[in-house]
Amino acid sequence: MLYANHTGDTIAREAPMNAAPRLILHVDMDAFFASVEQRDDPDLRGVPVLVGGASKSPSSRGVVTTASYEARVFGCRSAMPMAQALRLCPHAIVKPVRMTVYSDVSRRVMEILSRHAPIVQVLGIDEAFLDCSGLERLQPGGGPAIAAAIRRDIRSQLNLPATVGISCNKFLAKVASDLGKPDGVRQIAQADAPRVLAPLDCGVLMGVGQKTATKLQSLGIHTVAQLLSAEDALLAHHFGDMGRHWKRLAQGDDDRPVHVSGERKSIGSERTFGQDVADDKVLRATLMAQVEKTSRLLRERGTHARVVTVKLRTGDFTTATRSQTLPMPTSNTRELWLACESLFIEFRRTNRAPLRLIGVSLGGLDEGAQLELFSSPPASSRAERTDVAADAVSERFGPGAIRRAGAMDRPG
């Protein structure tokens, strides 16, 4: 098999492998929300902190979103009722959730990561996979040096702790970061994987949640080693194909690629007219309804879009797309509409043909701000409050119930 090295030459590799070995990093912030609170208030450093409970949102009332490591010593954990956490650690300090602050920090963490790796897959508000394959040839010290540089940047620019796991695939990199926590680095070499994984709970295997773990335990399977020695037929009987999948993971085998966040996903809406439409008023109204629908979907997912694309097909089946990248990711209907509208106007300036289809697609989705794990973040800006109100009306009376003519006006 031939590989390109960094000088562009090709080099022969002797081992008959299917693919070049990969260098995958998993970065996860430590006690993320609590660490931000401790960073912003020196009085909280070194003491048990629980974040949550004080939120006004009914869905999160009374629940711990995260506990600082000082509070974890007492058994406090994420998703635990606040009352229970306070029984375990009565002297803990409780701080309310400041989602806007955490989202902002998250964005800055992801920016730092994107400076260290060509492929970054954001997983949630505080974690990401990085594919650094090939970089080890350019960076003396390989994975550990890249991990150290990332941690140094996060510490110096954001004053926060992060843990980095290093390995040859996503699964092992994630296990490595779990084992390296808090504020650490851990590498798992492929050859060491069976030894490292053997004593761990089956819960480390992706797809084994609390319910499945309990079912496995009822079959006498607690650890990864026990799962590996379980009969295939037994696993297949209880868990179908998942059994085989877990066994592969248990052997440290995982060939899933690291996907570039935001590039693969988009949210779109398009409409083909029964008869071609020449009237710009009708076209604009259709486009606006599509922006309202897609931006609402963004907000439901807690995601923001950075790339706005308008698709226009004329009666002769010629299709044009016009895209714009926004300075900041947003889920605000008005901001997205203004971008769509200018793309539409620009297109119509040179093409007045009746349209057969019009559509909008929102891409560059910013998973770093994904908030689905959490209660609704407080609507901070006026524009966001308008969206929240409009979404509430749409939910109650249907998507067509509200028209925000005034809110859609261009500034100036």
Contact 147, 25 (CB under 8 A): yes
Please identify which residue in 4, 47, 73, 79 interacts with ligand TTP, judged by CB under 6 A. 79
CA distance 226 to 235: 12
347: burial class by Cβ within 10 Å (0-12, 13-18, 19+)? middle
**Residue 337 touches which of Mg ion, ligand TTP, none (CB < 5 to 8 A by kind)?**
none
Tell which residue, 111, 102, 114, 124, has the closest CA to residue 40.
102
Q: How many CB atoms lie within 10 A of CB 374?
A: 22
Among the candidate windows 29-37, 186-194, 302-310, 353-361, which touches ligand TTP by CB under 6 A? 29-37
373 lines the binding site for ligand TTP (CB under 6 A): yes
Torsion 336-338-344-350 (CA) sign: negative
Q: Known catalytic residue: 127?
A: yes
Q: Does 292 bind Mg ion (CB under 5 A)?
A: no
Residue 29 interacting with Mg ion (CB under 5 A) = yes
Which one, 29 or 168, has the nearer CB to Mg ion? 29
Q: Segment near ligand TTP (CB under 6 A), from 22-30, 277-285, 291-299, 352-360?
A: 22-30
- DSSP letters for 150-190: HHHHHHHHH---EEEEEESSHHHHHHHHHHH-SS-EEE--G
Residue 181 contact partner, candidates ligand TTP, Mg ion, none, CB within 5 to 8 A by sort of partner? ligand TTP
Please tell me the chain's helix, strand, coil percentages from 3-state DSSP, rounded to the nearest 5: 45, 20, 35
Least distance to Mg ion, CB of residue 36, Å: 11
Q: How is residue 204 written in tokens?
A: 């480390």
Asked if 182 is part of the footprint of ligand TTP (rule: CB under 6 A), the reply reads yes
User: What is the nearest approach in angstroms of ligand TTP to the Cβ of residue 84?
Assistant: 14
Which is nearer to ligand TTP, 252 or 377 (by Cβ)?
Answer: 377
Count of residues of this chain found to bind Mg ion when the rule CB under 5 A is applied: 4
- Interface residue with ligand TTP among 23, 26, 28, 309 (CB under 6 A) is 28
28 near Mg ion (CB under 5 A): yes
* Secondary structure (DSSP) of 343-409: HHHHHHHH--PPEEEEEEEEES-BGGG--TTSPPPP--SHHHHHHHHHHHHHHHH-GGG---TGGGP
Asked if 78 touches ligand TTP (CB under 6 A), the answer is: yes
Q: Is 129 in the site for ligand TTP (CB under 6 A)?
A: no
Active site residues: 127
* Binding residues for Mg ion (CB under 5 A): 28-29, 32, 126
Q: Which residues bind ligand TTP (CB under 6 A)?
A: 28-33, 65-66, 78-79, 125-127, 181-182, 373-374
